[in-house]
Chains A and B, each alone.
Chain A
Amino acid sequence: MTNEVVAEFREFKKSFGTKVVHKGVSFALHKGECLGLLGGSGQGKSVILRSLIGLEKPDSGQVLIDGEDIVPMTEDQLISIRKKVAYVFQNGALFDSMSVYENLAYPLRAHTRMGEDEIRERVISQLAEFGLQGNELLSPADLSGGMQKRVGLARSIIMQPKIVLYDEPTAGLDPYNTIRIQEMILGLKERGVSAIFVTHDMPSAFAVCDRIALLLEGRIQAVGTREQLESQPNSKLTRFVKGLEV
């Protein structure tokens, strides 16, 4: 992890109808860092992630990727951002009209000039890396929930992004699949990929995150490392992690 900032939120404000969800969210993600984003349900954690690739626009504030504000960008301009920032959806969001192979080949066909042989090689090796070899011809509906998440993760990072956004990747998984996902995330971290990890799964957050941020009442209330959490037993973040009233 370095001090170089790869993504940053500045005074991010967003409302849905009359409900003000974000009242000025500000934080930075450093290169090679995995930042855990915690917060109660309905606090707008997924909206933060979606805003990082332009799937949502704030009412005001800035969202910077490599120092460039993506808020005013059009869909065409966002394509370059979406090539370097990957989003891992909670349920995988696999295309159910395509096989596992086609799902992984989709971004390669869309953004590279690779031939079919090269694509095949890359997809097969990606599937093998995620322990999914032999499943390429299956449809997403034939996969278990854990496998769908792994395929979703494999598809998201096949373009070798600089930043990965995980939206509750371990939610609803058994311990075996949870550990597999954690290992995959740690593997990416070792390669210098930055990440934001939205979760309610504390053991996973502690296993993969360098720092943890708490989003409550529309603002980042606290940010800290695991060591800082342990040394401040009465801080908001520690109390939230322990399930105490914040």
Chain B
Amino acid sequence: MIADFAITLGERILIFLRSLGEIGLLFRKVIKEIPDRPLHLRLTVEQIYHIGIKSLGIVFVTAFSTGMVMALQFGLGLEKFGGKLYVPKIVSLSIVREIAPVFCSLMLAARVGAGIASELGSMTVTQQIDAIRALGTSPIKRVVIPRILASIISVPLLVALGNLLGILGAMVVSVSELGLDPMFFYQKILTTLVVTDFLAGLFKCFVFSFFISVTACYFGLNVKGGTQGVGSATRGSVVTSSILILVGDFFLTKLIFIVVGT
């Protein structure tokens, strides 16, 4: 029984690693084809609408509520030690450097990644991807690149908005629940956060946007087994990109500390 479990686990790990390798190969094709014409700007703008504008709601809820919860948790925890005044500093740094990039990216991996994987999966199942190739055009150029470009434009912008909303949520709770002065909160944030904090967070979500979009495109283009396969591909896309975001976050944080130093 243990041997069976070990074999199954090993197979799962191998499949996951093979998927990562193939995602890397797809990324290489994307890089190769990005400079080629036509640029399909209209398709990219359409995707920015679907990926960016239509995700505003989920980013608003995620960032604002996370900021509120963090302020409450830190506020009530630190109050016992007289550390309530540190809430703006701790919460704003956490939001900008970690929480907003990671949480928003995870939510976008679910919303955007699942959408891309299921859409491309349906196109694969109905032979539309084959038709693109049969008509002498490239599915990478036509379908994949607009979605990736839209993601790398939209995701950092959404996370930048998430930063502001998270801090705003924390401010609302700090004022209403912890009794902090709004001007004090505001001043503390101004003296705590520096541009590199924002840039570090935005750099992370720039990388995460590739994890989300390339992974989703890979799973969508490799659907097998009809409509059931579309479901599996969607699930695979969300799980894989979430793992990449969470594991990648550690290495990116380490890299940022090496480069920036603080």
Contacts and interface: CB of A to CB of B under 8 A. Distances in A.
A55 B132 CA distance: 11
A75 B133 CA distance: 8
Nearest to B129: A93
Contact of A93 (B131, B136, B137, B138): B131
B135 interface: yes
A89 B130 CA distance: 9
Contacts of B128: 93-96
A41 to B, nearest CB: 16
Contacts of A155: 135
Contacts of B134: 53, 55, 82, 86-87, 89, 156
Interface string A81-107: 011001101110111100000000011
A110 B133 contact: no
Nearest to A82: B136
A53 B127 CA distance: 14
A55 B131 CA distance: 10
B135 A91 contact: no
B136 A111 contact: yes
B126 interface: yes
Nearest to B136: A82
Contacts of B137: 79, 106-107, 110
Contacts of B135: 82, 106-107, 110, 155-156
Nearest to A85: B134
Interface of B: 126-128, 130-138
Nearest to A89: B127
Contacts of B136: 78-80, 82-83, 107, 110-111
A91 B128 CA distance: 10
A53 B136 CA distance: 9
Contacts of B126: 91, 93, 96
B87 to A, nearest CB: 48
B226 to A, nearest CB: 13
A106 B38 CA distance: 13
Across the A-B interface, give the 6 residue pairs with the lowest CB-CB distance, nearest first: A82-B136, A93-B131, A93-B127, A87-B134, A79-B136, A107-B135
A45 B200 CA distance: 55
A107 B126 CA distance: 19
B137 to A, nearest CB: 5
A108 to B, nearest CB: 10
Given A90-B127, A107-B135, 6 more contacts: A82-B136, A91-B127, A93-B126, A95-B128, A96-B128, A106-B135
B130 A82 contact: no
Nearest to B127: A93
A210 to B, nearest CB: 24
B138 A55 contact: no
29 contacts: A53-B133, A53-B134, A55-B130, A55-B134, A75-B138, A78-B136, A79-B137, A82-B133, A82-B135, A82-B136, A83-B136, A87-B134, A89-B127, A89-B130, A89-B131, A91-B126, A93-B126, A93-B127, A93-B130, A93-B131, A106-B137, A107-B136, A107-B137, A110-B135, A110-B136, A110-B137, A111-B136, A155-B135, A156-B134
Contacts of B131: 87, 89, 93-95
A156 to B, nearest CB: 8
Contacts of A90: 127
Nearest to A90: B127
Nearest to A50: B130
A53 B135 CA distance: 10
Nearest to A56: B130
A79 B134 CA distance: 8
Interface string A200-228: 00000000000000000000000000000
A86 B138 CA distance: 16
Contacts of A110: 135-137
A107 B134 CA distance: 10
A117 to B, nearest CB: 19
A111 B37 CA distance: 12
Contacts of B130: 50, 55, 87, 89, 93
A93 to B, nearest CB: 4
B116 to A, nearest CB: 13
Nearest to A81: B136
A93 B131 CA distance: 6
A110 B133 CA distance: 12
